Amino acid sequence: MVDITTATSELQYQNTSQLSTNLSIENTRKPLVCGSDKQEINSSGLFDFIIYGILVNLIGIFGIFGNAISMIILSRPQMKSSINYLLIGLARCDTMLIIISILIYGLIAIYTYTGLLFDYRFIVYPKIVRFLYPLSCMAHIATVYLTLTVTLERYIAVCHPLQARSFCTYGRARLAVAIILIFSFFYNLPKFWEVEYYPETHWKYNITIYCVYPADLRSNNLYVTLYVHWMYFFICYLFPFLALVIFNVAIYRRVRKANRDLQQLSRHQRREIGLATMLLCVVIVFLICNILPLASNIHETFLNDPPLWLVQTGNLLVTINSSINFIIYVIFGRKFKRIFLKLFCSSKLFGPGRDSPEFHYDESIVTNMTNIELRNSIRHYHLNRSSTINRNNNISNGSTRQSVKMSGRPASPGPCIYYPARSPSQMSRTSNTQNGWNKKDVDSTL
């Protein structure tokens, strides 16, 4: 009888072919997960408990909250752009992947080592795993190709900026996400018929439990060889990984060259280079975290079943990859960080100084100026207004003076003060003239 820990660890959500480590019991109806083997709690499975029961659960919970925050921030009106729409789709698929990993691995490992969650282990889990497994494969392929689409978008924006205006649009981003989701669904549709379950009486408690076993489709040699092994290897690993390496090498060379000629770049070009650098880090983390799953897939496709420790560590790395993008956004995305502090961090933690989130002016709502430029613009605006009022008073020869005293106002007002004399759009046009700002530099990205 296959051990429970081995059976559950091989229902891979990030690597479909690794399911064959237990499902490759060809031409048999031997159960994968069952309670009739008269085994007590596996007290020796400490490694499995640490990897799945502790690390996957804790990292997964953090990743769920981090991805939720990322989706909230990236969905703000001032963050609307094609690249951010792709990142929202990536965060959604990562969240689904994390939730399923906790349900398939984390909770099962808790029972295996401690004996808790008996009802979930033998009643709930066998009934839902037949749906969780194909959904996890769909989410994994979607994350792979969304990451590739993000890289392709940055490659066009950085290396071919003249074509970026027509290719990198919000509508094309929505179309790309829809195509990826449809492809992921139909490609993994056969996996709904790979796993089945049947009732059985528990040997110790004399109650009805359910056991998981491979369906007839999974016992077909041709299906396993072509679809599970080779197609998955080429579609989920070989093609996207080669494309990611090629595109990101080109982006890295362009970023490196741009950093040498930084003074010659416009403000818009600097933002594109900064965003490309951040997403380059996202892809590097993705490739690093998927090295072990790739090695496990190659081992199973060309040799035999991979070692259990390789499968377990690969699952943990995939969970880390799905949970860590929020940290990368906060570190490298200046605008993302500013909105995050404004939305989720209390100003009492920062005080009234320059580090307070309330101090920063959200330039994407009105203009794209920095705080210093905004203060200079408002100062010039008041000086021009003061001179205009003085000229009008001199021409009127004793006419009624305006009640506003310019000398009573501070020379450098705070950046978040609004003045009713002019609308935000008028102030934006004034600051455009005085600072040489171009509307094309509006920043709608991170």
Confidence of residue 275 (pLDDT cuts 50, 70, 90): confident
Domain-embedded: residue 416? no
Q: Among the listed ranges 171-180, 206-215, 270-279, 409-418, which one has the minimum average pLDDT value?
A: 409-418
Structure tokens at 234: 């080429």
**375 CB neighbour count, 10 Å cutoff:** 17
Looking at residue 355, what is its pLDDT? 41
How many folded domains does the chain comprise? 1
Structure tokens at 183: 């492809």
58, pLDDT greater than 90: yes
Domain-embedded: residue 230? yes
Q: Which helix (H) or strand (E) holds 209?
A: strand 208-214
pTM of the model: 0.71
Domain-embedded: residue 372? no
Structure tokens at 27: 């031409």
Structure tokens at 252: 């890295």
Q: What is the CATH number of the domain that holds 132?
A: 1.20.1070.10
Domain-embedded: residue 411? no
Q: How far apart are CA 113 and CA 47, in angstroms?
A: 10
Domain-embedded: residue 286? yes
Task: Tally the residues of the chain.
Answer: 446
- Give the residue with greater pLDDT, 189 vs 25: 189
Q: Of 370, 312, 293, nearest to 6 (Cα)?
A: 312
Domain-embedded: residue 79? yes
Q: The domain containing residue 148 runs over which residues? A: 43-345
Looking at residue 262, what is its pLDDT? 64
What is residue 15's DSSP assignment?
-
pLDDT in tens, 378-395: 555 555 555 555 555 554
Q: Any idea of the CA torsion for 400, 402, 406, 407, to the nearest 10 degrees?
A: 40
For the chain, the straight-line distance linking the first and the last C-alpha, in angstroms and rounded, comes to 52
12, pLDDT greater than 50: no
Q: How far apart are CA 417 and CA 156, in angstroms?
A: 39
145, pLDDT greater than 50: yes
Q: How far apart are CA 43 and CA 45, in angstroms?
A: 6
Q: How far apart are CA 213 and CA 1, in angstroms?
A: 12
Domain-embedded: residue 312? yes
Alpha helices in 121-191 (DSSP H): 125-159, 161-167, 170-187
Q: Residue with structure tokens 């072919």?
A: 17
Domain-embedded: residue 21? no
Q: Of 250, 277, 240, 248, nearest to 262 (Cα)?
A: 277
